[in-house]
Structure 1
């Protein structure tokens, strides 16, 4: 079911998260700005929601991959 996630290289996901996930880097990472807007209840424009998805998905994929690796190592051998 999650074989596609297992096939994604961890290094590639890390590079995508660090580049697209944080771009632009100055004055602050875009995903951080959008998360602050979300927490303040100011994330209402469709372009801002799209931006959050665009910059947040690489981080979600990276976290899913890391979680999957941990779960597979903790699973007892059969």
Structure 2
């Protein structure tokens, strides 16, 4: 889909969905710290949260890699 190839849209997704809620810390940051700490007590909803909030960053990394390979 064209929408997933547009840097502006993907950056907007990263800054909104990827980081929301912003306070006291970005949600994805808290989930990543939890994963690095061993993911003790993570339930299915927590794993879904990681996928939901992490997907925009996966798209961004994909676009960057494709841009580098294209050059």
Mapped to 2, the partners of 1:39 and 1:54 lie a distance apart of 18
Question: Would you say how many aligned residue pairs link Structure 1 and Structure 2?
Answer: 70
Task: Give the root-mean-square deviation of aligned CA atoms.
Answer: 1.8
Alignment TM-score, normalising by the size of structure 1 = 0.81
Choose from 17, 21, 29 the match for 1:20.
17
Q: Which residue of 2 aligns with 1:53?
A: 51
Alignment TM-score, normalising by the size of structure 2 = 0.89
Q: Which residue of 2 aligns with 1:76?
A: none
* Structure 2, unpaired ranges of 5+: none
**Stretches of 4+ moved more than 3 A in 1?**
none
Mapped to 1, the partners of 2:55 and 2:19 lie a distance apart of 11
Structure with bigger helix share is 2
Mapped to 2, the partners of 1:58 and 1:27 lie a distance apart of 21
